[in-house]
Amino acid sequence: PTLQLAQQSGLVPPMLDVLQALDQIPNIMEEVADGARDFCPSPSQVQSVAKRAYRARNTLVIQYNEDSFDQSDQMEALVRAAGKGLIRNKRPMLSNTDDLVKRVNLPGGHDTPLRAPPSLDVATRAEDILGAELAVEQVLQYRGARQTVQEICQWLEECNI
C-alpha cells in the first residue's frame, strides 16, 4: 500500500531523480579527494568578464550563511565597480552604486536554491499527504528555496521589473 500511495502521489519519479543524483556523489567525492577544485568558468574568469561587461541597472546578491563557496563580497564589489561606469555614462542621476545593488543574507548553503520540489504539483501532493510543515522542513526541505524565491520576487517588485 505504501508504494501504491507513493505512486499515486507522484513522488516516485522525483525519488528516482534523487537516487540518480545521489549515485553521482561517490564520484564527486573521489574527484574532490583527488584535489579537484575547479569551477567552470573559474572565479577569475567570472570576475574578469564582470569587470569588463557587467551593465545591469539593478542587481540582487544573495549570500547563504553556510556556503563554503561563497564569493558574495567579491561579486558585490565587482558589480559596484562596474556600476560606477554605468552611473557616469548612462545614469548620471544616480549618485552612488547603493542604488544599484541589494544584498540579502539567507540561511542555508550552496545547494539551498536547488532544494525546491520538482514541481508545484509534487509539493502540493507531498504537503497534502505529510502535512505542510513536515513536508517543507523534514522531507522535501525546501524552506530555503522558498525564501530565495520570495526574496527574488520582492526585489523584482522593488525594481519595478
pLDDT grade for 63, boundaries at 50, 70 and 90: very high
Mean pLDDT confidence for 110-118: 79
| CA atoms within a 13 Å half-sphere pointing along the CA-CB vector of 23 | 6
Residue 146, pLDDT > 60, answer yes
pLDDT grade for 151, boundaries at 50, 70 and 90: very high
The pLDDT assigned to 159 comes to 87
- Position with higher pLDDT, 56 vs 19: 56
Give CA 65 to chain center in angstroms: 13
Residue 65, pLDDT > 90, answer yes
Mean pLDDT confidence for 12-23: 60
Q: Using N-to-C axis directions, what is the helix angle for 12-23 and 25-33, rounded to 10°?
A: 20
- Position with higher pLDDT, 133 vs 39: 133
pLDDT grade for 88, boundaries at 50, 70 and 90: low
- Position with higher pLDDT, 17 vs 103: 103
pLDDT grade for 44, boundaries at 50, 70 and 90: confident
Residue 147, pLDDT > 80, answer yes
Q: What is the DSSP letter of 107?
A: S
Backbone angles phi, psi at 131, to 5 degrees: 95, 140
